[in-house]
Structure 1
C-alpha cells in the first residue's frame, strides 16, 4: 500500500496511486528477478533494444459487441413500432421526445466511436527501449483535439534520462463485484525536474500493482545491463486466427502454443484470478468472436523507415 499522499510529479495525475522507484536509483543486483513478469508483452529483444507490446491493454472486440447489442435493442424495440398503425415520430410530450432523441443520438455517436477504435486502432502500438541510443520510441495512436476529427498515428521519441514511472488506479462497483485495475504510466519529465511534459501508458488492465512495479524494474535492469540483467525473458508467441481470438480473454484455456506458455508462466495469484473470471465465459467468448473480426480489420503498425532502423540500433541517431 502506498504511504505517500501525493505524487512527486506535477501536475499530478487525477487517478494517481503510487510513484515507482526513480529511474536513477540504485538497482539491487543481489535481488532475485524473474523476467516472466512481462514475457507475454515482449515482442522482440536483443543486446540493443527491447520491444514491449501494448496489445493486452486494449479490450479489442468490445466496440463491435457493444454496437451489436445497442443496435439489436433499437431494432427490437423501434422497428416493429414504425410499422405499427398510427405510429408517429413525435411523442405526446415534446420534452420526452427531445430527451429520447438526445439519448439515442448520444448513444449512437458513442457506439460509432467505439466501433471505429475497435476496427482502426493498429493491431499493436509497441514501445521500444534502446540501450544504444538511450531513447524510447513510442508508436502511439493519438486522440484528436476535437471529437469530430479522426485519430492518427504519431511516433514519439524521448530520452531515457527523462523517463520516470507511476501507477494509476481505476476502481468501481459493477453491480455484482468491486473491480480494481492498475495501469503503469511512463512519465516524461523536463530534464532535471519533476515537471511532466507527457504521460505514456505502458500496460493497463492489471489487477495487481506488484506486477507493474516488477515490469518497471525490468525496464531499468535492461537499460542498464541488457538482456542478461533480465533472466528468463522470452518473446511472446504472436498468433492471429479464430482460435487465438476465441480464447483472447481466457488464454489459460487455449489449446494453442501461446496458451501452453501462458499457463506455464502463471503464478498462484494468476490461478486464483482465473478461477474467478472463468465464470464470465458467457461474456469472454462473444468478446473473443468480436475480437477476431476487429483484429482482421485492424492495420499492422508501420514504423517510419528511419525511426525503425534507429530504434532497432541498425544505425546511429
Structure 2
C-alpha cells in the first residue's frame, strides 16, 4: 500500500483513499494470510478460476423500502387533498405547477430506484482465471442519461493490466458517523499507470482488513494457484424468506451458514454486531424488502463462449 497523499494512477479516483501493493510485487511465503475471512464473497474456487461475488456490496431491498415509504407518503398527500380540496397544495396556479413538477420528478426517481433494486441481477461476479491470465467481469452499468435503463455488459481484461486501490466514503447521518471502504480494480494501459477502467470488487465495508486480504488472496491465486490461498472455499448459498429476513443480521442465521459467518468474525465484527443489532427495527423491514427484490431479480447469465473460456472449459 502507499502512504502518499496522491494516487499513482491517473486520472485519480475522486474517492481515492490509498493504493494497494502492485500486482507484480513479491509475495512473501511467510506472509500471514487468512482466506477464510472473505469466504462469504467466494462463489467458486478451483484449480482454474476464482469467482468472487459482489452481492454483499449492494443493500438489496433498500430501493423497495424507499419506494414503499415514498408511495405511502404520496398516497397520504393525495388522499388528504381529495378529502379537503380547500387545503390542497395545488390550489394556486404557480404552486400547483411547481408541486406537480416535484411530484412527477420524485415519482420517476422512485420508480427508477425500485426498478434497479428488482432488476439488478442477483449477483454480478468477477472471475479470475489463472490459466488464461485474464479477468472476466459481469457488470451492470449505469446509463449515461438518466432516462435510459441500466444494462448488462461483459468485460474481459488481461491480468497484467490490473492493479488495485481503496476508496473511502464518510459522512454523518444525524445519529452516527458512517465510514465505508471499497476495493477497486484499476485497469491500466499496458506498462503505464493510465487508467482505462475501474471495477469495484467489494464495497460497503466499514474496515479495510478484509479488503487487504482479498487483494492478497487474488494475487496469490493468480500466481501460484489454489494451494497458495489456504482456508479459501466456496460460500454456501442459501435462498429463502428466512435468510433474506436476516440478511443484514447474518450472525443470527441458524445452521451451517450462520455458523460459518460467526466463525470468521473478528473482534471488531462483534463490536459492529453489538452496535447494529439495536437497529433491528430497520434491518428486519429491509430484510423483508430484500426477499421481495431478490425474488424478482434475474440470475446472471454469461454468454456461452465467455462462460466456457472464463471457467477454462475451452482454450481462450
1:134-173 deviation per Cα after TM superposition (whole angstroms, max 9, x unaligned): 0000001111222111111111000000000000000000
Mapped to 2, the partners of 1:290 and 1:259 lie a distance apart of 21
Runs (4 or more) in structure 1 with deviation over 6 Å come to: none
Q: Could you state the TM-score of these two structures normalised by the residue count of structure 2?
A: 0.97
Mapped to 1, the partners of 2:207 and 2:232 lie a distance apart of 20
1:252 partnered with 2:261 = no
Cα distance, 1:4 vs structure 2: 1.2
Cα distance, 1:30 vs structure 2: 0.8
Q: Could you state the TM-score of these two structures normalised by the residue count of structure 1?
A: 0.96
Cα distance, 1:89 vs structure 2: 6.7
1:16 partnered with 2:16 = yes
Mapped to 2, the partners of 1:289 and 1:89 lie a distance apart of 34
Aligned twin of 1:44: 44
Mapped to 2, the partners of 1:239 and 1:134 lie a distance apart of 31
1:258-273 → structure 2 map (5 Å cutoff): 258-273=257-272
Given that 2:130 and 2:225 are in contact with CA atoms closer than 8 Å, whether structure 1 keeps it comes out as yes
Aligned twin of 2:57: 57
Aligned twin of 2:306: 307
Q: How many residues align?
A: 316
The 1:102–1:2 alpha-carbon spacing in structure 2 relative to 1, beyond 3 Å, is farther
1:15-34 → structure 2 map (5 Å cutoff): 15-34=15-34
Given that 2:172 and 2:178 are in contact with CA atoms closer than 8 Å, whether structure 1 keeps it comes out as yes
1:51-89 deviation per Cα after TM superposition (whole angstroms, max 9, x unaligned): 000000011100110011011112122212213254667
Cα distance, 1:196 vs structure 2: 0.3
The 1:195–1:286 alpha-carbon spacing in structure 2 relative to 1, beyond 3 Å, is same
Structure 2 residue matching 1:3: 3-state secondary structure: coil
Given that 1:244 and 1:256 are in contact with CA atoms closer than 8 Å, whether structure 2 keeps it comes out as no
The 1:199–1:69 alpha-carbon spacing in structure 2 relative to 1, beyond 3 Å, is same
Mapped to 2, the partners of 1:80 and 1:92 lie a distance apart of 17
For structure 1, which runs of at least 5 residues remain unmatched after alignment? none
Structure 1 residue matching 2:281: 3-state secondary structure: helix
Aligned twin of 1:154: 153
